[in-house]
């Protein structure tokens, strides 16, 4: 399985019999063009409707690819409506076919997050799930509420998937103090093999500080910083 960074929170995942594009909104035009030109079944996943995770132009891709499946968080229904190629998932609902299984989980922001299982590999894309506590600007009560809300969603995921092979998760320095807290809590609660940061566009240099936190917990930290960078992940036999 190959995972390629597109931009911000956007990724392409290439399996043996399929390609997924997650939360694409801009950039990586050559990569997208190549994937659309392929004949391999294509799945386009969107976790929520924020403009940095959803570009309506992706709905035109069905005119360029013969076998495309859109899997959206149910929150996008208000934006997109009834379309024959779109499957909407509410929290804890599944999409399943003979290539992969996708289960929707919750978020502490708009929409949801996705756990993808295929070829013996589990991949989690967090969308905007994070401990958005904004400690430097929030009241202590707001910080406690943000922490409680996040740990609840994390607990639901951990109960279903106590271990995950590859995680794509926000590490966003705009939050100021403790901006890595949600990521640290994630790898403390769930056994993760590979952690890929995302949602760091404004402060890419701050992402590197998470390497030490990952190493403490025996997690491989893979910062894909430039469009087109990627990794190959092979399931253990």
Write the pLDDT tens digit of every residue in 167-182: 999 999 988 889 999 9
Res 46 pLDDT > 90: yes
Region 232-236: what's the mean pLDDT? Answer: 89
> Looking at the domain assignment, is residue 181 inside a domain?
yes
- The Cα–Cα gap between 133 and 143 comes to 5
110: pLDDT strictly greater than 80: yes
Average pLDDT, rounded, for the chain: 95
Residue 229's pLDDT is 97
6 inside domain: yes
Per residue in 86-100, pLDDT (tens digit) is: 999 999 999 999 999
Domain that holds residue 69: 2-232
Contact 101, 88 (CB under 8 A): no
Least confident of 26-40, 115-129, 223-237: 223-237
Total of domains in the chain: 1
pLDDT at 237 over 70: no
Residue 155 pLDDT exceeds 90: yes
- pLDDT-derived band at 136 (thresholds 50, 70, 90) equals confident
Angle between helices 140-160 and 181-189 (to 10 degrees): 30
Q: Beginning with the edge strand found earlier in the chain, give each strand of the sheet holding 220-221 in spatial order.
A: 94-96, 101-105, 113-118, 121-125, 163-170, 191-198, 220-221
Q: Residue 148 above 90 pLDDT?
A: yes
Find the CATH number of the domain harbouring 71: 3.60.15.10
In a domain, 237, yes or no: no
Which pLDDT does position 236 carry in this prediction? 79
Question: Is residue 162 scored above 80 in pLDDT?
Answer: yes
Examine residue 22 and state whether it is found in any structural domain, yes or no.
Answer: yes
Q: Is residue 74 part of a domain?
A: yes
- The answer to whether residue 152 is domain-embedded is yes
Position 50 in a domain: yes
* pLDDT (0 to 100) of residue 146: 92
pLDDT given for residue 187 in this prediction = 98
pTM: 0.97
Domain membership flag for residue 224: yes
Q: Of 53, 45, 43, nearest to 17 (Cα)? A: 43
Give the pLDDT of residue 138.
85
User: Rounded distance, CA 142 to CA 150, Å?
Assistant: 12
* pLDDT for residue 226 is more than 90: yes
């Amino acid at each position: 399985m190959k995972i390629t960074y597109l931009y911000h929170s956007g990724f392409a995942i290439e399996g043996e019999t399929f390609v997924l594009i997650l939360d694409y909104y801009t950039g990586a035009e050559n990569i997208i063009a190549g994937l659309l030109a392929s004949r391999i079944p294509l799945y386009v996943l969107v976790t929520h409707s924020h403009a940095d995770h959803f570009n309506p132009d992706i709905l035109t891709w069905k005119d360029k690819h013969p076998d495309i499946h859109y899997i959206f968080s149910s929150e996008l229904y208000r934006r997109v409506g009834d379309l024959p190629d779109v499957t909407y998932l509410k929290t804890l609902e599944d999409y399943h076919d003979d290539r992969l299984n996708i289960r929707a989980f919750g978020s502490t922001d708009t929409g949801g997050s996705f756990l993808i299982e295929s070829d013996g590999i589990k991949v989690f894309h967090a969308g905007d799930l994070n401990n958005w506590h904004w400690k430097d600007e929030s009241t202590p009560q707001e910080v406690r509420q943000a922490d409680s809300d996040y740990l609840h969603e994390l607990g639901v995921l951990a109960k279903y998937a106590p271990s995950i092979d590859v995680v794509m998760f926000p590490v966003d320095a705009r939050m100021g103090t403790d901006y890595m807290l949600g990521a640290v809590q994630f790898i403390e609660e769930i056994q993760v093999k590979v952690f890929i940061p995302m949602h760091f566009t404004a402060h890419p240099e701050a992402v590197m500080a998470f390497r030490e936190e990952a190493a403490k917990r025996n997690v491989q930290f893979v910062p894909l910083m430039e469009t087109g960078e990627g990794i190959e992940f092979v399931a253990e036999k």
